[in-house]
Amino acid sequence: MSSEIKVQIAGWLLDPDHPKRFLDSSLAVLESELKKQGLEKIYSEIELPLAKILEEIHQVGIKVDLDFLKKLSIKAAKELEQMTKRIYELAGTPFNLNSPKQLSEVLYEKLKIDFKGVPKTKTGLRTTDAEALETIKARHPVVALILDYRELFKIYSTYIEPLRNLAGPDGRVRTTFLQTNTATGRLSSQNPNLQNIPAPKGRGSPRSESGRPTIDYGEAIRKAFIAEKGFSLGAFDYSQIELRVLASVSDDERMIDAFKKGLDIHALTASNVYNVDISKVTPEMRRFAKTLNFGVVYGMGSDSFARSSGLSREEAQTFIAEYFNDFNGVRQWQEKTIQAARDFGYVENLNGRRRILENINFSNRRLAAEAERMAINMPIQSLAADIIKMAMIKIARIFKDQGLWLKKVRMLLSIHDELLFEISDDILKETIPLIEKEMESAYRLKVPLKVDLAYGKNWAEL
């Protein structure tokens, strides 16, 4: 392990917001400082061994189907051109579709589309983001086309073309996983970012109308990620890891009980906040409950929940109150955590990983409230990140011991709660349950960890 990497990791652990501050220090100084701050274990047992694995992931890369991408590129370019032409017709003028400024002029001034309820951006322009376009969609036929254009252009310019350009002569793309670039201890991925590859849309609407995308391009992108000949891709994702961590960390009796019993957590939440039997929960009730569960992990207020759920502010408030009434352990833990953040100026997860919150005691309510949300989210998100890191290390060790690592089993990607592997077909069947088991036992929570898995010859099948 190069000393520079050690220094970088050590410096970041000591001060995530100012990693460079420590770069001039000697490793010996940093290591004693790590010990003093109780970060020694995270450093030596997680980040350092992980650095080696991330380097190997980079070296291995992931195979993409360049012939397929080329065809996709041509098809997408053709569709973009047609959509552009049609939009110019409907707008009555050509303009730069990729310029939010020009688009807002065309939409709100030239076409005089009613912008009631459409907010402005911080620079004073009327926003043209997807949410705004959705609300004015019925007011002019060009709007729906612009939404489609945006979606396809995004895929084309961010995924199709860069992947083709970044693939090596062996048809493999090599992302760089950064270990010291997030405030919570998550990994990030860049050049290319392989942690935000589009997901298939699911049961999409029929795409028969003219001027609309003819296929699900998100699904197509995932199809382009393939296994080498004689190998399969295996995807293993932790089921609801953040909510399980929340249940465990907050010691909330009801939530722990639910996970122990293997209940559908969103349905359970719905049954609680609506005060109905879990068997009487409708799909709609479950949807609201799911939004609520996410919101709680993010530390949302009633306004945000109202917005994302479509409820009125009063209704949203009632739901949240009901939620914290039902999951009292969660409420108490959040209050305790915010108070600790105020007292110490930082929060930490169960492993002692820290996030410094400079603004937590500011008198500016907005900034303080922001810091409070970070305070209750960080211990959850960061422990989930630690768990998957520990799983990666365990798994790599096992296959190295067996002499299979990189030859028959390759770790390709780590996507927050999911690991993607390339596994030789001759050992696929016995390897899958092994990985699953290692992930589920990577860390002992008060609730079980559950892993969902799938395998196939390309990423879209999984």
- Interface residue with DNA among 31, 33, 252, 417 (CB under 7 A) is 417
289-328 positions binding DNA, by CB under 7 A: 291, 294-295, 298-301, 303-305, 307-308
Total of residues contacting DNA (CB under 7 A): 70
Closest CA to 220 of 287, 159, 167, 263: 159
Query: Is residue 60 a contact residue for DNA (CB under 7 A)?
Result: no
Strand, coil or helix: 445: coil
Residues 254-293, interacting with DNA (CB under 7 A): 291
By the rule CB under 7 A, 199 interacts with DNA: yes
Side chain identity at residue 179, one-letter code: Q
Cβ proximity to DNA: between 61 and 295 the closer is 295
Query: Does 158 participate in binding DNA (rule CB under 7 A)?
Result: yes
For residues 181 and 9, give the distance between their C-alpha atoms in angstroms, rounded to a whole number.
Answer: 10
Q: Which long-range contacts (CB under 8 A, 24 or more apart) does 75-84 make?
A: 75/215, 76/152, 76/155, 76/156, 76/160, 76/217, 77/156, 79/152, 79/213, 79/214, 80/149, 80/152, 80/153, 80/156, 82/211, 83/145, 83/148, 83/149, 83/152, 83/211, 84/149
142 CB contacts (<8 Å, ≥6 apart)? 87, 90, 91, 107, 111
Q: Which residues contact 9 (CB under 8 A, 6 or more apart)?
A: 43, 47, 48, 51, 179, 180
Q: Which residues lie below 8 Å from residue 143, measured CB to CB, with a gap of 6+?
A: 107, 113, 133, 136, 137
Say whether residue 198 binds DNA (CB under 7 A).
yes
Considering the rule CB under 7 A, would residue 47 count as an interface residue with DNA? no
**Among the listed residues 1, 29, 130, 215, the single contact to DNA using CB under 7 A:** 130
Indicate whether 223 belongs to the interface with DNA (CB under 7 A).
Answer: no
102 binds DNA (CB under 7 A): yes
122 binds DNA (CB under 7 A): yes
Look at residues 412, 421, 68 and name the one whose alpha carbon lies nearest to residue 232: 421
Distance of closest approach, residue 307 Cβ to DNA, in angstroms? 4
The correct pick among 131, 257, 335, 343 for binding DNA (CB under 7 A) is 131
| 163 interacts with DNA by CB under 7 A | no
| 127 touches DNA (CB under 7 A) | yes
Q: Does 93 bind DNA (CB under 7 A)?
A: no
> In terms of DSSP bridges, do strands 346-348 and 418-424 run parallel, antiparallel, or are they unpaired?
unpaired
User: What is the footprint of DNA within residues 349-408 (CB under 7 A)?
Assistant: 365-366, 369-370, 373-374, 377-378, 381
Give me the residues that bind DNA (CB under 7 A), please. 96, 98-102, 104, 119-123, 125, 127-131, 133, 150-151, 154-155, 157-158, 162, 178, 181-184, 186, 188-193, 195-199, 218, 237, 291, 294-295, 298-301, 303-305, 307-308, 365-366, 369-370, 373-374, 377-378, 381, 415-418
